[in-house]
Structure 1
Amino acid sequence: MFKPRLAGDNSNMKYRFARCLLLLFLTLAAGLAGCKKITSNKSAISAGQVKELTSKKIIRNLPSECTIQEYSAEELFDKSKSGIAVVLTDSGVGSAFVVKHENNSTLLVTNAHVVQGNSVVTLKWSDDSKDQAAVVKIGDVQSLDNDLALLELSGNIGKVLKIKQGKVNTGADIVAIGAPRGLEFTITRGIVSAHRDNGRVIQIDAPINPGNSGGAILDKTGCVVGVATFIRRDSEGLAFAISSSQLQNFLVSDEGTMSDSPALANRTTYPSPNMIMEEKPKCWFQQDDGGDLEAANCFVGTRKNNNGHLVYDLTETVSGLKRTIALWEDEKAEVILKGQVYQGRWWTDSDGDVRVKVNGGVFAFVLPDSAEREKDLDRRTDVIFYERYPELKGKILGSSKGKLAQEWLSIRESLK
């Protein structure tokens, strides 16, 4: 395999385009500020149509209305935690909650951007048990009020959290339960600050962080009033949740789409709790036919595949969608996405970045430098090591000559 030259410093050309992606793309009716989607300076190349798969999963006969009994934050956590789950994917952590037991199966809600790119995810419960859940319905991660997904697993597991039928009052006390920054089953408190987008979105001041995405927002009766979805990173106390009315619309609707194109699968353009745009974007996607390539939040890693060839793993930070890319000397490229192999071609553009044209669409990415490759190697070593020793996660291994440290180094060497 031919290894292309490393990209040079092109900060003046592209990095300014990441800033606007951190702001909301909608201007809400009540005056919430946003900004337009800004494209990069990379020239346009015609793109093909996105193949769409439609899910028809519908939930009928949702659990009855909540009671009027109010509880303290401590009581709310104790009564609700068995209905909360941590969502684990290859790319990160999110939250989910149980909405119904049906036909000996359990249905949970989370955000679409938490599970996008995955057909199966791992759920972790408050008793440390784990289950595999299928993604049976997914909304639109580009839509402010439809960034929702439905998960299903066998058996009646966890406590069903009831969904509020009416509108929650502005000023009402609420709690958020989730896994901020991977800190599982964390509860935070706040109030409903305002209703936005004609009641489809509620503004809250409870602390929300990456990992809270898809988690339940509960009122004092333990009723779900919203789904934690995104925050404003340039401000304090500005967090937003999809309202319970929108959640109910999603659950009873037969609409839901999933994107399946190696070039055009990226669609998230607003800042969710799981979206932290890097200062220097490392990938770009052509979003529309004939459009420019737009900066996206992603991680680019390198490794050797089973045949000993160097490949690049391009993983979108928000959706978790991963493309494995092989670049050959004759400018042919292979892109593996969701188990399918797509043939295309690659070249180095004027910025020194790699562009790949495949399946009618185009994307580009920055080749990792030596320092980034070393960090990627450390990261992959940690994944393997802490799967063996989960109880050691976050702890210092001690002397480099110790048995555990030597095992870590051995794993790292085997990955080179």
Structure 2
Amino acid sequence: MPSTTGPQAATPDVQRTLEAVWRMEAAKVTAVVARVVGDVGLAEDLAQDAFVQALEQWPRDGIPTKPGAWLTATARRRAVDRIRRDVNLSAKLQQVGHLEELRVAELAEGDFDAALEDVDDDVLGLVFAACHPALTAQARICLTLRMIGGLTTREIARAFLTTESTVAQRISRAKKTLSQDGVTVEVPSGAELAPRLASVLEVVYLVFNEGYAATTGRDWVRGDLMEEAIRLGRVLAALAPAEPEVHGLLALMEIQASRTRARIGRDGEPVLLLEQDRSLWDHALIRHALAALDRAVALLEAARSSAGPYVLQAAIASCHARARTADATDWARIAALYAQLGGLRPSPVVELNRAVALSYAKGPEAALEVVDALAATGELSDYHLLPSVRGDLLERLGHDEQARAEFARAASMAQNDVEKALLLRRADGATGATGAQGAG
């Protein structure tokens, strides 16, 4: 969203309304305009222009009855003007086949509702475009938060502890790439759908994870990023209700987010999963998440399909959510689900998580064999949770000195200040459970 400061800044009430409308409607406005111009980057620019026009007109003329429709109609008209100015209109219409779209662009606001019948498909197509595999992961994240989430460049930069210029450059390069590659707003089909959907879900989960356990900085949790990822997940669930993995991802994020109040102690220190006060968990959010997981399972059963990675991870998270106490956790099922996940998507991190589950299902000795085998491969040599988990297992086996050395090594590798402090306390002799599951 463009800046609302400057000589023509809106009044506080108008500004708040405009910001709220933009956050909710940015994706729709951009998606609808992209259908007209056939260029995702240009559509986003035109949507921004409509916002600027609203900033100038609304304080003077009042807030429209349907502010979202006003922004969309204004952006459409700007798209038509742009086409007419830049190229021969008839040639352009023949090229993109959007005669009907241009006709609708001329509609008055009062007649605009009929033109939005397919807007959900347009928005879903915009999500796929913003998460196109031709873009880097960082570019996909920035573009998704900008186009779908309606976040400003400043908000994205603050969330990821980087500069506005860096974010702006990523967005600019991403839009240029999409334009050069001819990426349009459309929902992929056939064999192309699964990998493209996986790219979309990966972006949303990357946003969530950066909020759930920040990789760098002073804060361990960034609630704004978690909330935005969950909002995006709910948008996807509404737009693609027949996709089990979409519901699985939403369930996974909501279960993890439900622990937020219990994850941080009074002094701001992390509270690990097995030590959390479960009465502080958001049980309403858990119920919503379990319902999403049930929808995913029902879709899989109806299609006679196997669970994908997000459904499996949600099932693992549900084992914790359903346990009233830490001792009631079904660790054997968790270990089995991690084994299933590893078979579907082999990963040393998944294997490390399986080892943690094994340590509670069968004891720390069995888990230590798995962890030592992982360490021998060198695949996780830069991953601080490997020595953290190993330190925990050694401590539970009574090998305190070796455990302290592992915790100290993990602390030296951790980039987040809060997590580093926790590991240093453990290296100094503090007790408690940790590991990949223990992160809470």
Shorter-normalised TM-score: what interval?
under 0.3
| TM-score, normalised by the number of residues in structure 2 | 0.25
| TM-score, normalised by the number of residues in structure 1 | 0.26
Bigger Rg, structure 1 or 2: 2
Please identify which structure carries the higher strand content. Answer: 1
